[in-house]
Structure 1
């Protein structure tokens, strides 16, 4: 009779399995990321389906209403973004001369400070402002390539929305056989919904304030940059940096350094304070993830799934914890390390 495997061998086998799974996720990121996005979107709006059913609507009408709502929000958002990007692509070539003037001014200033003129000249001349036009054309080409992904995502949203009405019965069936699995999945949906509600509330407030400020500063396409602030708000910790770069650069091209500093100042006051200092406290309380785990999950899922992984870092981490930690009573030690102190105290009580 053979005894249990040595602990070191178990650890090595687990690590090897994790590497294989992560490699598979990276290879299938084109499929996994849209599926996870569709799942998260349907989790958010699923209470609407239950509310409509309690109001007496038949199941098919409640599902049709849910699908229409999801499609409507997604298509309006996509239309605004695509339309703004088309305008941006047409706008960028007009700043070519302004970019050349800024480059020349920066070169003169650095030469006046005695900073290596030969090396700097070689660097700035290697950057052709005329590439703005080619970048704009490439941007339009990317929009065509994204169309296929959008169609695939819409199909996923349809199928997930149709299945919403049967999720409750399926969870009850799972709960009869595996009570902890049902509790873990219910915890995942609840925490994901709370995370998205809190993040959406902060993101909407920041987006409105950013749009008003950029409109007042005269930055082109303020609605697009407000939407960018809203989307990057779902990226923990570093979303502020991703949201400020495009309007700050456009402010430099359209109004000079003063406008750029004004844009950065507005974003520091609004986005950095709210997104990086205030919001993480509420998000941590809502989902029970420590700040360190939230940041590590951002880096990890962005590497595994790409840009969508950065947006879905928190829901993806919650799903992994539900499947690997919350369903196993022997993994309570891992949960204690990964949760915030407040959520761990509440979990024990």
Structure 2
């Protein structure tokens, strides 16, 4: 699968976008909107949202670039103070020479590079979404005929789509709370670009377990330069509390109950799918594992494996 990841990743993203958009597609068709027009409306909505996000991020990056001289001066002043304490001369050039590529910032850069590859396949993803949505009305019936004739689970497609939509709904609410909390935290300490850090926390929270901690790295680093060590440590502690409260306690229990997946399986799926598909695999790890679990449940031979992926309380209730 790793060898075919460049082909599979755009298709997987398109498939999950189509699943997300299916409720809107059904809602439009309920009000007698033709399928073709409904698809056009949905695609325009997707493009509009991505465009607005892109404009916002572009503006934030431009503002950050304009403030780079200020941050450079701040860093120089802090390094000068450290040099006086230790009796050594330290410059920004020396500091950058000692930063290794494997630093924590490299993880953030790698994730963004993987997402950048998705934008390179933007039109492929959009066209795939269009064709999947056009097939959305007939595909469940086709699958039901096939699975019934092969003694499979005829409700597989319905369970798959409802499961993904339920997970993404829960995850989006948790990510929104995380993003608002991160923006409020950084704004309270007077850190620049609090909305950007909130958006970053919202986006990275879709990566299970470690996403919120990864999103904490850039604002903490900026706080070290812009403010001071103590307040940077407090911001880092605030992110840790947010991650433990939402991502480590509340969300795993709610998401686990919603999908029937154990917390351990949620974490292991992050590692496995991240290894197979890279950053996109990390973002889609839980939906992919849920898909595998539902597929295993559809056959008597593989049903025991699906039980192993489920929660202990559900097994005990049987």
TM-score, structure 1 normalization: 0.76
Task: Kindly indicate whether the alpha-carbon contact (under 8 Å) linking 2:2 and 2:276 is maintained by their aligned counterparts in 1.
Answer: yes
TM-score, structure 2 normalization: 0.83
Structure 2 residue 7 is the aligned partner of structure 1 residue 41: no
- Specify the SS of the correspondent of 1:330: coil
- Specify the SS of the correspondent of 1:27: coil
Indicate the residue corresponding to 1:59 in structure 2.
Answer: 35
Structure 2 residue 11 is the aligned partner of structure 1 residue 28: no
User: Mind listing any 5+ residue stretches in structure 1 that lack a counterpart?
Assistant: 1-24
- Specify the SS of the correspondent of 2:71: helix
- Specify the SS of the correspondent of 2:241: helix
Indicate the residue corresponding to 1:125 in structure 2.
Answer: 94
Task: Kindly indicate whether the alpha-carbon contact (under 8 Å) linking 1:240 and 1:272 is maintained by their aligned counterparts in 2.
Answer: no
Offset at 1:289? 1.0
* Higher percent of residues as helix: 1
Task: Kindly indicate whether the alpha-carbon contact (under 8 Å) linking 2:140 and 2:157 is maintained by their aligned counterparts in 1.
Answer: no
Q: 1:149 to 1:171 in 2, by over 3 A?
A: same
What RMSD over aligned residues (CA atoms) do the two structures have, in Å?
Answer: 3.3
Q: In the aligned structure 2, how far is the partner of 1:185 from the partner of 1:334? A: 20
| Mapping of residues 115-264 of structure 1, within 5 Å | 125=94, 127-128=96-97, 147-178=119-150, 180-264=152-236
Residues 155-185 of structure 1, C-alpha deviations (whole Å, 9 max, x = no match): 3333333333333333333343245243333
Offset at 1:273? 1.0
Offset at 1:281? 0.4
Match of 1:281 among 229, 253, 256: 253
Q: 1:71 to 1:161 in 2, by over 3 A?
A: farther
Q: Report which of the two structures shows the higher radius of gyration computed on alpha carbons.
A: 1
Residues matched between the structures, number: 308
Task: Kindly indicate whether the alpha-carbon contact (under 8 Å) linking 1:96 and 1:130 is maintained by their aligned counterparts in 2.
Answer: no
